[in-house]
Structure 1
């Protein structure tokens, strides 16, 4: 069976301070479209929701616009920007760099729990 969904009509939208995540659920794929505004930082905007010291969601994605700096628990640091394909393992903090919103597609399939209230 062929499945087709459009990112303009996500199954779910999760809002958090200075950003949001749109999620499309498909067979074998949870696809996320993340938008983070200038000033967004995971440890300030999502950490209170996640309840963990670092982001424990792995990410595999593609940057559409903006820049994001990522620091791993061990201190390794990298910046991603437009056109970059990335793999970010669990255990990191991240923040928007500059005055442009960061927007990326995430194919890792772990977006079903990202920025979701624990209950």
Structure 2
């Protein structure tokens, strides 16, 4: 089996305040490319769309550009930047640091649910 798709022609694109996510659905993989503009914060841009207090999506990600801070519900915080690979469990807030967009590639299966109204 071989399956190839381009993120330049996503199956779905969701726009939200200060950003968007593009998603391709493949056999055994849901892949997302998220662009978060300066000033983006999950609790300000996505919370009302998701209908949850914190992000409840599991992320397996890779940061292409920009920087982001992630705070877990227990208060633990980490910063991610270009070249960082990360795994983040549901129950977190996140925000862009600095004045450049943060571009994240996400390989988690439920990125297809990200920024979808419930």
* Common fold by TM > 0.5: yes
* 8 Å contact from structure 2 (residues 66, 97) kept in 1: yes
Q: Alpha-carbon deviation of 1:109?
A: 1.1
The structure 1 segments of at least 4 consecutive aligned residues displaced by more than 3 Å after TM superposition are none
- 1:19 partnered with 2:19: yes
Q: Which runs of 5+ in 1 are unaligned?
A: none
2:44 alignment partner, SS class: helix
Q: Alpha-carbon deviation of 1:77?
A: 0.1
Counterpart in 1 of 2:41?
A: 41
Counterpart in 1 of 2:3?
A: 3
Counterpart in 1 of 2:72?
A: 72
Q: Alpha-carbon deviation of 1:7?
A: 1.1
Counterpart in 2 of 1:60?
A: 60
Q: Alpha-carbon deviation of 1:107?
A: 0.3
Q: Alpha-carbon deviation of 1:62?
A: 0.6
- 1:97 partnered with 2:97: yes
How far, CA to CA, are the matches of 1:33 and 1:110 in structure 2?
Answer: 13
TM-score for the superposition, normalised by structure 1: 0.98
CA RMSD of the aligned region, Å? 0.5
Greater percentage in helix: 2
How far, CA to CA, are the matches of 1:107 and 1:113 in structure 2?
Answer: 13
1:111 alignment partner, SS class: helix
Q: Alpha-carbon deviation of 1:23?
A: 0.2
Q: Which runs of 5+ in 2 are unaligned?
A: none
